[in-house]
Structure 1
Amino acid sequence: MRQGPGFFAEGAAPAPTPPSEAPHYLGHRDRLREKFAETGGDGLPDYELLELVLFRSIPRRDVKPLAKALIRRFGSFAEVLGADRNRLLEVEGIGPGVVTDLKLVEAAGRRLARGQIRERDVLASWSAVSDYLRATMAFAPREEFRILFLDKRNHLIADEVQGRGTVDHTPVYPREVARRALELSATAIILAHNHPSGDPTPSSADVSMTREIVSVLAPLHIVVHDHVIMGRNGHASLKGLKLF
């Protein structure tokens, strides 16, 4: 049988299709995973660490541009994780599934930091407390007022957010603080709140509120060990600054 154009000779197999070239980002992903395995993440820039998180959320796309866009918008790896859900969704390429994965990593970081101060003398583990407060609230978009309730051995009884407010104010009621401390049989507390502006410098309102809480708790023999203000740019201790 004569073979015409577009036909194969009888019994002949079609020529194999050349294999398609693998997407360029696959090799990059493998290299970045190897780099992480070797270093444990130490030395990786924020955008590369964020890429590793996004690999699992977005398996079939080059996520480096997205990781860099997130860092540009929010400032750092920690600030991306702590960003408001709605603001994250404003970024092109970010959907609800990605936001959930980012918030899962954020929650894991908080849980890990909190584990460092469980069953320990909080005052003897101050760096762990500072790390925990930073992970928990330093990058929150609105002010949060948190209290660590301690027993007579300065072990943590409870860690509670007493109020959430605006970008620069959270209402605090000293008698409510006292009531909750009595309910938990706490003998000491540590106050903490964040400044979303990033500057942890205490305001006059912060100082007066702290002094009021101290005066309300003193007759109840409940000690205020410190009031810590967390910000992206560090933290401030009112006790260390001798402001109460």
Structure 2
Amino acid sequence: MTRPDSPSSWQRLDDPQAARVLADAYTRQFFEPFIWRERRVSEVAREVGVTTNAMLYRVRQFLRLGLLEVTRTEARAGRAVRHYRSTSRGYFVPFSATDAASVQALYEASLDNTRRSVLAELTRAWSDLAEDPRWFGLYTSGDADGLHSHVLLPFPPVLAAPGERVSLMAPLLADGQPAIWDNTTSLRLSPSDAKALQRDLHDLHQRYRARVTASGRDHLVRLTLAPLRTD
């Protein structure tokens, strides 16, 4: 497999304390805004939702670990304002530098904060859509071919007739509904179709990433595809 970047282009973090900043999802959220962008403590504090003093504590920690550097100092009446940026465009945390007991444990710890954020935003969005809370719950359906859908919805969807394929998420596609999608399913695909789906998901992500605009609304996007074990 070819790699676009040489190992030397990634700053290696062998110090367990520095490695923990990027391996721990909670701590990483305070460092990510500085990655190759010049930022002030106060603006990052507002972005992540903490006090300036709490953010300053983190910044001092990152400076001590060699992850941040002061890029310039802005003179102002009273106290000068410092601007900070990460010391590298990219970081590599070797598994051996973490305190994870397994690769799965590292994966879960690294993504835990993101997973909680996705669940929190979905919960808020579903709650806003629930006109009648009596219909807020899990909807599971299938036919002779097996399970088709298992989703959490704030309203009763149209149940497909035998042999008919209807997405339970279809009502959310109307123009008046918010842009929400949360669907997990199992597909039996040939190796070539699975690779095509993988590439389609990648291209879809890149296409809309190129359309990001400052006047838009932030959305959390998580696309996942993984082969199921057969044992």
Q: 1 or 2 for the larger relative contact order (CA 8 Å, sep ≥6)? A: 2
| TM-score (norm: length of structure 2) | 0.27
Which has the larger Rg?
A: 1
| TM-score (norm: length of structure 1) | 0.26
